[in-house]
């Protein structure tokens, strides 16, 4: 079933275009807030080819599609002539429910990365307990750093840059900001003896947020 056909069937099974209050998506799920949830034909939606599952959660219909959910979301938006989620009306959602939706949208894409880091940590701990690797060895430090990297955040400066007439950006404030951090790292290494392993202006977590369109 093509995205066009699947989108048309989903719209039909949720009560038509006029029943859609708000539409959004995360990494794998299409999230629909509807005016009348009684019109949802949940079993029929679950049986559609291309749908991995469907459920109601916090008065929101969540349809599990997979990584290709973005293209289906765009197709539904085109067919139903939807307003982008950020501008759509939210009057049928309680404040706390919207807060939970925001939290899930932020953290859901990160869960696989955190789970992978946790599994790698467990393997490292087993190797350490069995004396298969020394704590001060390069191998241990490398894998330990790999497991920790998802938790490393960046200190990059996000600012509303204003381009000049020729398209260039005079960002002396960003250069100064980075210089101060580099100077502090230098002092930490030379004066305090800190074993600095690296420095990132951007963290690994940004790869996740970028892939899920949270940075657009």
Neighbour tally for 119: CB within 10 Å: 11
Q: Find, among 11, 27, 93, the residue nearest to 64 by Cα.
A: 27
H or E element that contains 64: strand 60-64
Helices assigned H by DSSP within the chain:
3-13, 42-46, 69-80, 95-107, 111-129, 138-148, 172-190, 205-211
Cβ atoms of residues 143 and 198 within 8 Å: no
* CA–CA gap between residue 106 and residue 84 (Å, rounded): 18
**Contacts of 126 by beta carbon, 8 Å cutoff, 6+ apart:** none
Note if 201 is an active site residue. Answer: no
DSSP 1-28: --HHHHHHHHHHHTT-GGGEEEEEE-SS
Identified catalytic residue from 26, 149, 201, 204? 26
* CA–CA gap between residue 14 and residue 156 (Å, rounded): 43
Q: What angle do CA 73, 77, 83 make, to 5 degrees?
A: 120
* Catalytic residue IDs: 26
């Amino acid at each position: 079933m093509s995205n066009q056909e699947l989108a048309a069937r989903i719209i039909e099974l949720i009560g038509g275009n006029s029943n859609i209050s708000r539409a959004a998506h995360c990494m794998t799920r299409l999230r629909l807030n509807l005016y009348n949830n009684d019109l949802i034909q949940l079993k029929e939606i679950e049986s559609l080819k291309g749908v991995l599952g469907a459920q109601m959660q916090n008065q929101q219909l969540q349809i599990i599609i997979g990584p290709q959910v973005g293209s289906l979301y765009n197709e539904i938006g085109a067919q139903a002539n939807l307003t982008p989620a950020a501008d759509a009306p939210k009057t049928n959602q309680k404040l706390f429910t919207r807060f939970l939706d925001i939290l899930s949208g932020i953290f859901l894409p990160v869960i696989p990365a955190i789970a992978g880091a946790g599994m790698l940590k467990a393997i490292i701990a087993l190797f350490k307990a069995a004396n298969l690797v020394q704590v001060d060895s390069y191998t241990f430090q490398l894998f330990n750093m790999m497991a920790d990297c998802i938790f490393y955040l960046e200190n990059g400066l996000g600012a509303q840059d204003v381009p000049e007439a020729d398209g260039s950006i005079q960002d002396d404030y960003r250069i100064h900001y980075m210089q101060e951090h580099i100077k502090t790292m230098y002092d930490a290494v030379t004066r305090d003896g800190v074993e600095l392993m690296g420095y990132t202006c951007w963290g690994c977590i940004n790869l996740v947020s970028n892939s899920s369109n949270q940075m657009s």
